[in-house]
Structures are given as C-alpha cells and as structure tokens.
C-alpha cells in the first residue's frame, strides 16, 4: 500500500505533454491572418471615401469576418500557442463590430447622401453649420420613422 500511495502524487504532478504544433497549418493560418488584416484595413479605409464607395466597406468587412474565422480555426487546429489565436479571436470580434458599423452606415445612406451633397456646396462656415444642423434633423426624422414602423409592426 505504501507503494501505491507514492505513485499517486507522481501521476498527479505530471502534466500532459502538449501536442506538437503542425507547422504547415500554422503557416497557412499566418498567411490567412495577413489576408484577414488587409481586408479589415481595406474596409476601414474604404469607409472614409465618398458615398457610393462606402458601400464596399461592408463587403470588405464581411469578407474579412469569414477569412478571419477561417484563420482562427486554422490556428486552433494547428495547435499554435501564444498570441496568434488570441489576436485572431480579438480581430474577428473587431471585424464583427465593424460589420455592424458598416451596415449602419448603409442604413443611413439617404441621410448621408443629403449631407454629402450639402457640404459639397457649402462655401462658408455658416453654410457648413447649416448642413450639420440639417443632418442632425434628418437623423431625428429617420429615427422617428423607424420607431413608428416598429410600433406598428
């Protein structure tokens, strides 16, 4: 019985060996992660362009979300340890958030188009202030229309 008692602590203190990292999968995950980063960066940059081009921000964000999810899965399957899986998880969360932001910008397309047209023609500071006031009023009107639709549904 003394022998059995001695063996138990040895087994309890041994930690299981981590599985080896699949270098090929880890390399694929790293390449996919670079594409993911470029897609999210492209989405952010395209969102700063004038309105017809802002619509591409959602496309880039959704593509980035898919590619980032694939990169995360590849990273986890490869057994990679360290910062790569954590960074990809955070990146996918950011891409998901950015997708909602880009989608919201598309919902406000008519309001933003009116603001863009107004500010393009505004030559003075008072005209620019007027455009901003009109934009805020248009946003309030848009919000009240959606609230009425939700109440009627």
Distances 12 to 1, 4, 5, 29, 85 between C-alpha atoms, Å: 17, 13, 11, 35, 29
At residue 10, the pLDDT reads 53
Q: Distance (Å, rounded) from C-alpha 92 to C-alpha 29?
A: 14
CA dihedral (137, 139, 143, 148) in degrees, to 10, reads 50
Predicted local distance difference test score (pLDDT) of residue 135: 92
- Average pLDDT of the residues of the chain: 86
Q: Report percent pLDDT > 90 for the chain.
A: 46
Of 16-20, 63-67, 90-94, 146-150, which gets the smallest average pLDDT? 16-20
SS (H, E, C) 63-109: HHHHHHHHHHHHHHHHCCCCHHHHHHHHHHHHHHHHHHHHHHHHHCH
- Look at residues 113, 37, 110 and name the one whose alpha carbon lies nearest to residue 68: 37
Q: What is the reported pLDDT for 22?
A: 76
- Compare 90 and 14 and report the one with higher pLDDT: 90
Please tell me the pTM assigned to this model. Answer: 0.74
């Amino acid at each position: 019985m003394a022998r059995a008692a001695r063996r138990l602590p040895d087994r309890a203190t041994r930690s299981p060996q981590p599985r080896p990292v699949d270098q090929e999968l880890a390399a694929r995950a790293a390449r996919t992660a670079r594409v993911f980063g470029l897609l999210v960066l492209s989405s952010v940059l395209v969102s700063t362009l004038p309105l017809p081009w802002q619509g591409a921000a959602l496309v880039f964000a959704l593509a980035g979300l898919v590619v980032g999810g694939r990169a995360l899965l590849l990273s986890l399957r490869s057994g990679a340890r360290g910062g790569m899986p954590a960074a990809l998880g955070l990146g996918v969360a950011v891409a998901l958030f950015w997708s909602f932001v880009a989608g919201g910008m598309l919902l406000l397309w008519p309001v933003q188009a009116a603001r863009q047209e107004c500010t393009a023609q505004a030559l003075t500071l008072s005209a620019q202030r007027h455009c901003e006031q009109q934009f805020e009023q248009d946003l309030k009107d848009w919000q009240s229309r959606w609230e009425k639709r939700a109440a009627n549904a």
